[in-house]
Structure 1
């Protein structure tokens, strides 16, 4: 839907007040509409038609016909000017404010902290800039706060730690800087924490280990340093949940992958690619029996690939490229019946390709390039009939290309260059 330019000094910063008249609420909404650009007025006239404002699109009322929810996400409404200089519409008892996916811009006004009954605040996918106001910490009834995909700068205010009912915190895809405040560890109800794609620095606070209801932790694409935390599964955190995701890729974290992370029995996704992780891959990760994705690529890992990983029956993506792993490709990988992507490229792996890889019938991406693998290319690979991409380049394979490869009807990319094939 097209965006509308609104030449007004007005925004939907909806403050609690002593006004209890439902007629006053309807009048406030109509007064706001009357100040809009004519195209926007035309749009809202079709959405807000009739005398009963509780039936208007995006408006929800309680039994007393007092407005409780305002949801105009995705209608392309556009404000002109800095928000902190704007006037206000007063609607009492507002609990739901959803203005995501519009073209709103300016600062988030500190007055938003006066919406003490708000449980849902979504300003995502707009063009807000400036810092997150400290007053957000006054919204103690919030269970969802979404400021993602804006242009916000500055640090995450420690006052967010006051939001004891918060379950979902989305601040990703901004320009936030500074450290993750320790106060986030006070959010005992938090289940989802998404801070990826920012400029956050410092270490991951130990207090995150206090979040016993946390199921998703996404901190990727920041400048986070320090060692990886060991306490994510200690003391109960991440152990009682049905779905768990940990995303720490594209940072500057160092240290080793702790064997204690195998104590996350419900962990389904562990992504720590493109960091400075060293040491060996702990075989104890095999105890995280629900693990379906393991991405440790582009680090400094050494040693062999643990054969114990073959016990991870849910594994669909095993990505270990760009390390210094050595030894053979374990035949136990052939036990991963759910495996779809296997990338072991750019390591120091040697020996033959195990025949058992042909047992991975769902495998559609296989990359073993840039190792020192040798011997003949096993015809058993053709049993993985779902293969779409096969890269065995820059190794020491000898012999010919197996005739059975003709069975690979789905194959789109085949790279066997820089070997000793006939």
Structure 2
């Protein structure tokens, strides 16, 4: 029975998609729920699975083609796997049996005279295709290989041009931009052009958090099954600061200001396909362990291309950690329609004045970019100072003071 393989139903925010990769070819047998093709959208990669055991009859949309929701991608013949795959399973051994046996057991398949001739001439039996019965290498085969050295010399000569062409060449490679990369570029440009973006900076002493982490990291991992990192502390500090400055957690919708009574914190994650921002829902109710587990799960999903639309939709505030790549200072760009984003950076030992004494402390620069149309400078600076104080005195997060 022939059925149509269709593109998934796209969410309302996604107009169309692109055929990214066909994992199966026409005529190739597939099993039920086996991955057939990936559809790349502006935000995520959607997988299309086989509806049953069978064979792909015909591919209608090639890689790179644009497809709409529920558009037909290919035709599929259900239940044809057994009849289609049987000849493929039996035919190759018959066609390739002599060559395979000759390559794998050339020494054993050669007679004494052939082995002696090969030893005297220095010719490898593995490189000779036998003309005898059952692929057996004969003395004449060895002598023929010795008398005709040209084919052996031809291989390096043929490969040489490929090497020489690369020497001194100014090589360029042109590839189409992925939909995700194009969408990220579009949104970043939109943020620069449509918002009154400004950035304020501060620095935070990371020693209290580092000491706390060092003291409890092993026990934390033993109890919760996840390592205690720095991101969870910054998420909790951001949540507490957002409660004090609701405008930083708000968004602009036309001529309206939308104040969100919840904290959906986006965490910027780098992937091979581009920058993605999965969201921690209701982060105000999450423990440090829950934050760490969720962020770790997002990172794995991003690497595997498994992030869903639900993972990436929404968000009221974003945290970006460029410090993991060595960034010392940066000005993060807003993630519209949000009005603020926090940038974390590299922890670096610096001489600091403490009570009139010079002390070496592990310091981190923090940056908050904000939309000046909604957030005033006083609010943005006070918000960042609140995060600084919470990180430098972690007990405040527990006491909510």
Higher relative contact order (CA 8 A, sep 6+): 2
TM-score by length of 1: 0.22
TM-score by length of 2: 0.23
Larger radius of gyration: 2
User: Which structure dedicates a bigger proportion of its chain to helix?
Assistant: 2
